[in-house]
Amino acid sequence: MPGKTSKSKPALEMTTSFPQFSNLPLEVRQKIWRETLPGPRVLLIALSKSKPGTCTTKPASYGGRHPALISVDRASRAEGLRFLTPKFNAYWNLEIDTPYFEIKDDADDNVVILAQLRTAGMLDEFKNIAIDWMLWNWHAATQTMEFKYTFGSRFGAYKHPVLALNDLPNIKKCSFIFTDHTLQPDLSTGEAWHLGPSTKATTLSENCEAVKTDMNRQIQRLKAKGLIGEWNPLNVTLREGVDIEVKAIHGRARGWLAPDKLRRETAGWERDWFG
């Protein structure tokens, strides 16, 4: 399947530096266009601020620009659309790209997106998915009386991500992502995000190794016993053919914020809940 690294030379640059490019046989031009296709990317899906009730892809996660061959000319666009599918305001290679679902700074706006898109069938074509580890742990919170009293049915659409995985027919690999949630804005660098090992630098956390160890322990417990959570555990059987791994987002650049501005102020009910 065509798919090169995101550092491939931009197609637009090729055409401007090679004036006879348009005179080449179509099959040669198509081969050159395919060489500019981006490699595996991790693209962040979030609620759209401009169109309430819809989802969009955060531009910073794909480098702030769409693949060049989509917009150079009709021939390049036609070739690009053989491999790239318009979805969530971005162009996806459904074979190798990974939609990523994250809860930023403990905010709850994006908690139910994964379940809602799964129910609507909008993730059925993907083969890979990445999920914020906080969505795994969210289940334990939903079981407490404090949570139910505070939120009522607000998060009724939430499902544990493993249950969502079982309902996604083509998913082969799920990467759970641990990161320290801050208010730092994501910056567009021209390069797309990609998956890699969890490190202090990529997770923004000094506790990276301890958290990674616990994540792997819980994943192994799921595989061995079909249990999620320690108290009032959820019984679930992971669908065969799905590989679960622990990863981090690489290539993500964040804007600077003063230390006292990194996180939102804790609400009163949260202080009572978590002490």
Residue type, 51: K
Expressed as residue numbers, the domain containing 129 is 39-67+85-274
Residue 229 lies in a domain: yes
Q: How many domains does the chain have?
A: 1
Query: Beta strand 243-250 with 194-196: parallel, antiparallel or unpaired?
Result: antiparallel
pLDDT-derived band at 272 (thresholds 50, 70, 90) equals very low
Whole-number pLDDT of residue 211: 95
Residue 3 lies in a domain: no
Q: Does the structure show a pLDDT above 70 at 9?
A: no
Say which range, 20-34, 91-105, 187-201, has the weakest mean pLDDT. 20-34
Residue 4 lies in a domain: no
Both tokens assigned to 115: 């379940």
Residue 32 lies in a domain: no
Q: What is the pLDDT of residues 94-119, one digit of tens each?
A: 999 999 999 875 556 678 899 889 99
Beta carbons of 123 and 169 less than 8 angstroms apart: no
Average pLDDT of the chain, as a whole number: 86
- C-alpha 146/C-alpha 18 separation (Å) is 65
Coil/strand/helix, residue 208: helix
Both tokens assigned to 201: 């630098």
Q: Which residues contact 74 (CB under 8 A, 6 or more apart)?
A: none
Q: Does the structure show a pLDDT above 80 at 3?
A: no
- Between helix 208-225 and helix 133-142 the angle, nearest 10°, is 70
Q: Report the 10 Å Cβ neighbour count for 146.
A: 13
Beta bridge partners of 254: 186
Residue 189 lies in a domain: yes
Q: What is the pLDDT of residues 150-170, one digit of tens each?
A: 776 777 778 899 999 999 999
What percentage of the chain has pLDDT greater than the value 90? 57
pTM for the structure as a whole: 0.86
Both tokens assigned to 267: 């609400």
The CA distances from residue 103 to 32, 45, 100, in Å, are 39, 10, 10
Both tokens assigned to 163: 């249950």
DSSP code of residue 44: E
Q: What is the pLDDT of residues 78-88, one digit of tens each?
A: 999 999 999 99
Residue 14 lies in a domain: no
For residue 43, give the H/E element and its range: strand 42-47
Residue 234 exposed, middle or buried by CB count within 10 Å (0-12, 13-18, 19+): middle
Whole-number pLDDT of residue 44: 97
pLDDT-derived band at 223 (thresholds 50, 70, 90) equals very high
Residue 23 lies in a domain: no
Residue 197 lies in a domain: yes
Q: 75, 68, 69: which is closest to 24 by C-alpha?
A: 75
Q: Does the structure show a pLDDT above 90 at 30?
A: no
Q: Give the pLDDT mean for 161-186.
A: 93
Q: Give the pLDDT mean for 142-155.
A: 72
At residue 259, φ and ψ (nearest 5 deg) are -50, -35
